[in-house]
Amino acid sequence: MKPQLDTFSYDDKIVRQFTWATIVWGLVGMLVGLLIALQLAFPALNYGPFLSFGRLRPLHTNAVIFAFAGNAFFAGAYYSSQRLLKTRMFSDGLSRVHFWGWQLIIVSAALTLPAGFTQAKEYAELEWPIDIAIAVVWVVFAINFFGTIARRRERHLYVAIWFYIASIVTVAILHIFNNLSVPAGPLKSYSLYAGVQDAFMQWWYGHNAVAFFLTTPFLGLMYYFLPKAADRPVFSYRLSILHFWTVVFLYIWAGPHHLHYTALPEWASTLGMVFSVMLWAPSWGGMINGLLTLRGAWRKVVEDPVLKFFVVAVTAYGMATFEGPMLSVKSVNALTHYTDWIIAHVHTGALGWNGFLTFGMIYWMAPRLFQTKLHSQKLAETHFWLATFGMILYATAIYSAGLTQGLMWRAFDETGRLQFPDFIETTMRLMPMYYLRVVGGALYLVGMVMFLYNIVRTWQTRPAGYEVPEIKAAPLAQVYVEPPHPAEPVGALARFVRAAWHRRWERLPLTFTVMTVLAVVVASLFEIIPTFLIKSNVPTIASVTPYTPLELTGRDIYIREGCFNCHSQMIRPFRYETERYGEYSKPGEFVYDHPFLWGSRRIGPDLAREGGKYPNLWHVRHMEAPATITQRSIMPPYPWLLRDAIDFPTIQKHVDAMVMLGVPYGDAVTRAPELAREQARTIAADIEAAGGPKGLADKEIVALVAYLQRLGTDIRKPPAQAGAGPGGH
């Protein structure tokens, strides 16, 4: 008997909305990227607090990750899910809430990050009210997505849907746990975790943000759009399933490879490395699966810009996922960490994999969404070649910069001393590569403008009203009957591998989701529990005391200005690091650091032992105009720190939040502003006595100087001073 068919239509309006958002935000994010690349090449382009490198860099990363790639994922997921599940989205209303909520979050980021509101955690900079908004909007998306699955008319969930499910649930877990913090004001908070634990949580999040925001969602898109564009099924569906489970099982462990040779316990670092190396296999399996999907269709690649974009995207995925495990090997990491090499690695993934896959996907969808022909295939071809050339130029320049930097930092001369003891020498050597990067980035951006033009012109030729095709499909049967298996299994092993249980999961999204969450959570707990609970992982140091109220204020200014984007605070136990910066960093030194500020890159030198290296006045002059102290310095000037007054009344609130986190503040619990003023007067008097500017006692620069002068000094304190506490500066 023939079943009755349901008639329905797809909601393509939401896909069009996310598509436009992808293009517009992509343009903005890449424009900011070009600006900060220009600022490194021409520091005079740092203009005022809102347009300084330290504040704009997180705006660039957030815009390209969450605005460009995020909207691209949503556009592709809304398009493909409806078609793969043969149903309209669960709720048009929730789709709109998701869209507008997400755009509002992006606008909030664009306003707050240049204003200096940041949690100082990479890719998790946004402050607590925005974090709550992200969680709410994400839940809306999840309800809409899982509701759609529940209403589906296709029994089996195609592998792309698996990747979307893993992305949705894992991003929620990562976001919530990494952003746990104690608010200290409407747009100010302190991380719940401190030092080593905070670093661990951040890179558990940071690495998996790359995995579950930039990789798994885009793999889902690849497994849907590549077969569509090539008009042939994926090369090996088995391999795609293997790809999925191995990525989910392995990725979640790999975060600690971002912290090799830091104060993180050795075992966690090694575990991160081992799992990262294991990721090689599934990643390359996935890449090969993608490329082989085009077997017999290579002629099409020559003619079709969509396939060209996909081929480069999949190749870039292969390159980035080859390089990632390689960089996680400790000895390689020792050379590359903190250098531009990592920036090149990230851009191979972002420009090549995320960018090209998005371009290919939108060029493929545009004629279908706007129900017309693409305005110009030729322009799309030109976009492809410009973007490819721009990306190659960018990567070549910055890989060279990274390698140069890494080798120069560790070079010793024949007398056994550092060959390049002045950090600025190593920076100057990179300038030609920074200029070249600007050219590469500009080419990529020009391609993006062509992309926008092409899509706008396509949209202009749309029909007066969009046709809404009626789709017919049979509803799911009430009872599922297992298809007959050709070879009935014999024995326990065969029964297991026949795995009716797994096939049931594939039909039962809830069970499948629970299993995915379980894989992610169990792996996370295996790493997190020991890091948090085994005391020997973070041996305490008796002489380490909390920051004074003024130092805490200085630290907040350091965070506001984004100093951690260019300066690390983590000296690794290598001779070339201890010779340059001083005693290597110990885990116990960071127990009051909410959040940790180890950084991930050294555009400038490490500051872990900055305290006491220079007089107070040196810091004032340096912050006011760095190039007057260090010739050809590329650091932005911060003259406003000498003009703007410290907000003394709020210091108490900040100290109170720290106390809530368990920081023993002693006297400062009741009289933080008073203690801060007292210390500020002492420092200002010293600056004045040394011939510096007068009247700085209430200016922000004094707080920052107090903080910088404290850095790394606790382990040098004489025993008598060790117990002095935050009031005893």
Partner 1 sequence: MRLSDIMANAGLSGYAEIALILFLLAFVAIVVRIFWPGRDREMDATSRLPLDEDHPQTRHTGDRA
Task: State the residues that interact with partner 1 by CB under 8 A.
Answer: 2-3, 5, 80, 83-84, 86, 153-156, 158-160, 223-224, 227-228, 231-234, 237-238, 240-242, 245-246, 249-250, 253, 267-268, 271, 274-275, 471-477, 479-481, 483, 485-487, 494, 496-499, 502, 507, 523, 526-527, 529-530, 533-536
Residue with Cβ nearer partner 1 (457 or 498) = 498
Residue with Cβ nearer partner 1 (431 or 519) = 519
- How many CB atoms neighbour CB 288 within 10 A? 16
Euclidean distance between CA atoms 124 and 127, whole angstroms: 8
The letter for the amino acid at 303 is E
Report in angstroms how near the CB of residue 251 gets to partner 1 at its nearest.
12
- Read out DSSP for 635-702? PPP-GGGGTSBP-HHHHHHHHHHHHHTT---TTHHHHHHHHHHHHHHHHHHHHHHTT--S--TTBHHH
Report in angstroms how near the CB of residue 75 gets to partner 1 at its nearest.
16
Residue with Cβ nearer partner 1 (102 or 505) = 505
Residue with Cβ nearer partner 1 (515 or 669) = 515
Report in angstroms how near the CB of residue 649 gets to partner 1 at its nearest.
37
Which of 14, 11, 75, 24 has its CA nearest to residue 455? 24
- Read out DSSP for 425-481? HHHHTTHHHHHHHHHHHHHHHHHHHHHHHHHHHHHHT--SS-----EEEPPPPSS--
Euclidean distance between CA atoms 475 and 434, whole angstroms: 58
Instruction: Name 386's Cβ contacts closer than 8 Å, sequence gap at least 6.
Output: 443, 444, 446, 447, 450
- What are the two backbone dihedrals, phi and then psi, of residue 412, each rounded to the nearest 5 degrees? -115, 150
Report in angstroms how near the CB of residue 154 gets to partner 1 at its nearest.
5
Note whether 137 and 97 are within 8 A (CB).
Answer: yes
DSSP letter, residue 319: H
Residue with Cβ nearer partner 1 (269 or 565) = 269
Name residue 6's beta-bridge partners: 473
Cα separations in angstroms, 81 against 69, 160, 237: 17, 8, 18
Residue with Cβ nearer partner 1 (86 or 572) = 86
Euclidean distance between CA atoms 216 and 279, whole angstroms: 13
Euclidean distance between CA atoms 44 and 697, whole angstroms: 29
Euclidean distance between CA atoms 561 and 423, whole angstroms: 21
Residue with Cβ nearer partner 1 (228 or 457) = 228
Residue with Cβ nearer partner 1 (298 or 526) = 526
Report in angstroms how near the CB of residue 695 gets to partner 1 at its nearest.
48
Residue with Cβ nearer partner 1 (126 or 234) = 234
Report in angstroms how near the CB of residue 317 gets to partner 1 at its nearest.
19
DSSP letter, residue 184: E
Terminal alpha carbon distance of the chain: 86
Helix, strand, coil share (%) of the chain residues, nearest 5 = 65, 5, 30
Report in angstroms how near the CB of residue 474 gets to partner 1 at its nearest.
5
Burial 216-241 (b: 16+ CB within 10 A, else e): bbbbbbbbbbbbbbbeeebbeeebbe
Report in angstroms how near the CB of residue 503 gets to partner 1 at its nearest.
8
Euclidean distance between CA atoms 729 and 726, whole angstroms: 7
Residue with Cβ nearer partner 1 (80 or 208) = 80
Euclidean distance between CA atoms 593 and 193, whole angstroms: 8
Residue with Cβ nearer partner 1 (269 or 679) = 269
Report in angstroms how near the CB of residue 523 gets to partner 1 at its nearest.
7
Report in angstroms how near the CB of residue 144 gets to partner 1 at its nearest.
20
Report in angstroms how near the CB of residue 155 gets to partner 1 at its nearest.
3
